[in-house]
Amino acid sequence: MLYIIGLGLSDEKDITMKGLEAIKSCERVYLEAYTSILMEKLYEKELILADREMVESQSDDILLNADKINVAFLVVGDPFGATTHADLIIRAKELSIPIQTIHNASIMNAVGACGLQLYNFGQTISIPLFTSNWRPDSFYDRIKENRNLGLHTLCLLDIKVKEQSIENLARGRKIYEPPRYMTINQAIEQLLEIEENRKQNAYTSETLAIGIARLGSLTEQLIKAGTLNQLLSEDFGPPLHSLVIVGNKMHILEVDYMRYFVVDKNKFDEIVKRDYKI
């Protein structure tokens, strides 16, 4: 059996009982993240680090003998939060390997903690880190489509882990850059730059948004709401960060819930009354 097991959002204790029991039945356990001694102690298994390169190009190593023994592939969040996991499942099906998926919380459902109702979200987007000569903006159209329908947009922010510089990539050198995690502040800077270039009024600096940091942590979760311009100068601390751009329609309960997170209640009430349909 190949088990695809979600680990949840915060730490090694977020795993489900079903997931923990499956891990303990496995002969090999792969972790799609940096390995953790805490995880190994709790799960009572040695963890094999499976980076993106291994998952995408060496899936046969992960699936080796999985039709005869139990193998686990551990995923932060939920197993279907990334397309690479679907690719691994398709490959297992082609090899007639039995598969069991064990779900867990992910940003896609836990984002409801910000007070916005899940069925009022539209298309989720990913925002990549800009470089000096690469500044993509295709996701801008998705935000515009969502807001035209009055829907909120969950923005997943870029994570650069085990990335190579162009020079090292060209020379075939296995030298990797230090990990980088996009902050809410960086995401907003890029969004405002794109709006300035596109000028299609998908959003403005006065558009309401919610910054979410370390979602799922019992002690370090942080949620702040305000205009994009207000959140631009807020401190959200260490990663991981996510951003929600609020749609131009809100339910009254969403407004009431958001008010607990806003950095300026008077400004919030003024903007809601002026710009939003309730």
- Indicate the annotated binding residues for S-adenosyl-L-methionine: 9, 78, 81, 106-107, 157, 215, 241
> Which residue from 245, 220, 85 is spatially nearest to 157, judged by alpha carbons?
245
Q: Which two tokens stand for residue 24?
A: 């303990």
Vertex 224 angle, CA 222 and 226, to 5°: 170
Known binding-site residue numbers: 9, 78, 81, 106-107, 157, 215, 241
The residue among 165, 104, 178 whose CA lies nearest residue 132 is 165
E-only strand ranges, the chain: 2-6, 28-31, 48-49, 71-75, 99-102, 125-127, 153-157, 159-160, 180-181, 208-213, 222-227, 241-245
Would you give the distance in Å from CA 104 to the centre of its chain?
A: 14
**Distance, CA of 24 to chain centre:** 27
Distances (CA, A) of 204 to 209, 221, 276: 11, 27, 13
